[in-house]
A and B are shown apart, each in its own frame.
Chain A
Amino acid sequence: MVKVGFYQGCCFQGQDAHMFETMKKTFKAIDVELVLLEETTCCGGNTIDEENRKLSYAINARNIALAEAKGLDMLISCNTCYMVIAKAKRAMDKNKKLREEINNLLKEEGLEYRGTNRIYHLLDFFRDVVGYDRIRKAVKRPLKGWKVAAYYGCHVLYPRETAVDNSDNPSSLQEILKALGAKVIDEYENKDACCGYHSFYTDKNMTLKKLDKILGSVREAGADIIATPCPLCFKSFDIYQTNMENPPGVPSSFLPELMAYAFGISKEESGLSHHLIKVEKD
């Protein structure tokens, strides 16, 4: 049994607390125990960086230090949380002065950023720690006949320094979906376009244009559903889609939900049956 610290961010609590329950079940099936890092805070969502970058570094140095204090590596599901925390980690590892300054503040809480532990996103965790094979073996209900469009989202691929896969031609998501028994659709026109989540509260029009493009080309490619490892991309597809003038009604899924379903967990418990855009496929 592998043990890893789970960073919840805003996506796995409050109204989405059940998502963490799904995650726990999904990970149990592949022999991973998720230890919730309760004292962590919001990573700042790449928005605190607009206020002050050092504040973003400090918040996330603290988040990482909380995992380190438990002797755990940190697993992050949200692409944006992952990127923001990974940027902070890089800054802390590279800049000794910054590290000293921030550690000085963390001392008050009895914390210290040491840089001893790793941070993972879902994709590299599945690839490097769990292994595709173990995922394949946990499948009890292969997604036979599911045509699934693989959608990575931006912040796991860009910038280069924090990317978890080959940014130009990534493969981890396809491999995971294949292990679940799905038919992967990875050649559709706008697969690399931004999901628009982050502009919903800065330029809503931009979000709707992005959705129109991505969802349109997913439909054209003949996919039944989109799968993304990022809860924010998922929310953009499932929730913000309903803000479109003519929502195309393309269903989407957060990768661990599909995994849960393939591992034999009920559609209800996996979360798949509660989306705003109904997942009809069984």
Chain B
Amino acid sequence: METATLKVFRFDPDKDKVPYYQDYEVPVEGTLLNALLYIKDNLDPTLSFRAFCRSEVCGSCAMKVNGKTKLACKTPMKELVETWKGKPLRIDPLDHLKVIRDLVVDIDKPIEKMKTLIPWLVPDPRVVPTDPMHESIIYPEELEAYKDQIHCMLCFSCYSACEAVEDYERYRGPFAFSRAYRFQVDRRDIETAKEKRIRYAISGGLWSCVQCQKCLYVCPKGVKPAEDIQNLRGQAVRKGFTDKPGAKKLKHYVDWIYATGQINRLYLPEEVYGNREAREKLTKAYEEMGVEVWEVPKPTKGLMKFRDIYLEILSKEEKALDLDFSHVRKIDKMVSDIFKADICTIVDRVHEEGKGGKLIEKLKGLFGGDNG
């Protein structure tokens, strides 16, 4: 029978000064959980791990294999052996949680963190009948908005893999933001609670997520915390929480891409951090080298039609007013001043004349943009 070596993390705080690894030879059969149960039944009854349902429901069996977070009862041994090409499989408890014993971790902390985001429904009396004899109906279309999030089984895989948890103690955790978002889009939840949740989310690190997408990758239930975090960020800005750098960055993207088809990395430090010097320094450096600097990106060919599509979508989603039209007009003026014509007529002319060509030649290997 094909076998594999599991190097399992062992630690009993009552007995061991430091953790150590113990090797076990297990059959390559069934899931990682089967292998652990094999150890417990046949090789070493002292090994501790959690696994209640054995069928991807309870969320208790998450752990790490060679550093990657896996749900033991969902992960075939065969797949692990193939991925790691026969190398030993190092089994560790989840990251960012205190080890109770061997692979068993203490999950109190992330649960407490989650509670700070009001992960429950605060009923709006205008929507939810106060009389308990009346039903509170949820329509299928409404459920659509949070149908994935409700499958979270609190396995803490995402909490373990999260880059933001790793480097920011207060960060609430991917799953916690997904929970919060689930109520943000529930019609029965009262507006004042939604407002509070956003405020708490911001102080809980909403803008500290690095968008690494690891939470999407490790979630065994198809929850997409990184995307919920994006949605929450959008809500934050729309609710007027616009003072954080991340909110200003978002506004930069929304306006500049509409106006020119591109972001403007020269202006990003200024519009986000008020750092005007960064732009001036760079512009000066280029000019000293005899390089002509356009302070706007080359407007994309077909820009006016692109704008139509952009605005159409925003209007349909009732978000057209998120565009700051006075900002857009300012950008238009910058473009017109540089190209000495009206934005509508410029775009295609620039491309015909190929003004960019000369620039490329001069700009030999200069780095340093957007150094905020």
Residues of A whose CB lies within 8 Å of any CB of B are: 10, 13-18, 20-21, 38-42, 44-55, 58-59, 62, 83, 105-106, 108-109, 154-155, 157-160, 163, 166-169, 192-194, 196, 198-204, 206, 209-210, 235, 238-240, 242-243, 268, 271, 273-276
Q: Is the CB of A199 within 8 A of B261?
A: no
Q: Is the CB of B309 within 8 A of A51?
A: no
B366 within 8 A of A: yes
CA distance A59 to B205 in the complex (A): 29
Q: Is the CB of B253 within 8 A of A51?
A: yes
Q: Is the CB of B369 within 8 A of A154?
A: no
- In the complex, besides A15-B282, A17-B363, 19 extra interface pairs with C-beta distance below 8 angstroms are A10-B263, A13-B298, A15-B286, A18-B360, A48-B257, A50-B233, A50-B237, A51-B319, A59-B257, A108-B305, A154-B213, A155-B213, A167-B68, A169-B66, A201-B248, A203-B207, A206-B168, A210-B167, A242-B371
User: Of B163, B253, B364, which is within 8 A of A48 by CB?
Assistant: B253
B370 within 8 A of A: yes
Q: Is the CB of A202 within 8 A of B305?
A: no
B149 to chain A, nearest CB (A): 15
User: Of A42, A159, A206, A273, which is within 8 A of B213 by CB?
Assistant: A159
| B205-229 interface bits toward A, Cβ cutoff 8 Å, 1 = contact, 0 = none | 1011111111011000000100100
Given contacts A194-B210, A201-B249, A276-B368, contact A15 B309 (CB under 8 A): no
B19 within 8 A of A: no
User: Of B208, B297, B309, B364, which is within 8 A of A206 by CB?
Assistant: B208
Tell me the number of A-to-B contacts counted with CB atoms below 8 Å: 215
B252 to chain A, nearest CB (A): 8
A153 to chain B, nearest CB (A): 9
Given contacts A105-B312, A192-B67, A273-B365, contact A41 B212 (CB under 8 A): no
Q: Is the CB of A202 within 8 A of B249?
A: yes
Residues of B whose CB lies within 8 Å of any CB of A are: 65-68, 83-85, 163-164, 166-168, 205, 207-214, 216-217, 224, 227, 230-231, 233-234, 237, 244-246, 248-250, 253-254, 257, 261-263, 265-266, 268, 272-273, 282, 286, 294, 297-298, 300-302, 305-306, 308-310, 312-314, 316-317, 319, 322, 351, 356, 359-360, 363-372
Q: Is the CB of A268 within 8 A of B365?
A: yes
CA distance A41 to B262 in the complex (A): 6
Q: Is the CB of A58 within 8 A of B309?
A: yes
Closest to B305 in A: A109
CA distance A109 to B168 in the complex (A): 46
Q: Is the CB of A52 within 8 A of B300?
A: no
CA distance A40 to B298 in the complex (A): 12
By Cβ-Cβ distance, the 7 closest A-B pairs, closest first, are A274-B365, A202-B246, A41-B261, A159-B216, A158-B213, A158-B217, A201-B249
Which of A16, A62, A199 has the largest number of chain B CB atoms within 10 A? A199
CA distance A196 to B317 in the complex (A): 31
User: Of A201, A235, A242, which is within 8 A of B245 by CB?
Assistant: A201
B112 to chain A, nearest CB (A): 22
When distances are taken between beta carbons in the complex, the residues of chain B under 8 Å from A53 are: 227, 230-231
When distances are taken between beta carbons in the complex, the residues of chain A under 8 Å from B300 are: 38-41
Q: Is the CB of B314 within 8 A of A55?
A: yes
Given contacts A48-B254, A210-B210, contact A17 B356 (CB under 8 A): yes
B366 to chain A, nearest CB (A): 6
Q: Is the CB of A169 within 8 A of B298?
A: no
CA distance A54 to B244 in the complex (A): 24
Q: Is the CB of A49 within 8 A of B230?
A: yes
When distances are taken between beta carbons in the complex, the residues of chain B under 8 Å from A38 are: 300-301, 351
When distances are taken between beta carbons in the complex, the residues of chain B under 8 Å from A46 are: 211, 230
CA distance A189 to B256 in the complex (A): 38
Q: Is the CB of A159 within 8 A of B301?
A: no
User: Of A14, A83, A199, which is within 8 A of B210 by CB?
Assistant: A199
B347 to chain A, nearest CB (A): 10
When distances are taken between beta carbons in the complex, the residues of chain A under 8 Å from B231 are: 50, 53
Closest to A167 in B: B217
Given contacts A15-B369, A18-B363, A55-B314, contact A45 B263 (CB under 8 A): yes
CA distance A208 to B294 in the complex (A): 30
When distances are taken between beta carbons in the complex, the residues of chain B under 8 Å from A47 are: 249-250, 253
Q: Is the CB of B322 within 8 A of A59?
A: no
Q: Is the CB of A55 within 8 A of B313?
A: yes
Q: Is the CB of A51 within 8 A of B254?
A: yes
B299 to chain A, nearest CB (A): 10
CA distance A276 to B237 in the complex (A): 35
Q: Is the CB of B246 within 8 A of A55?
A: no
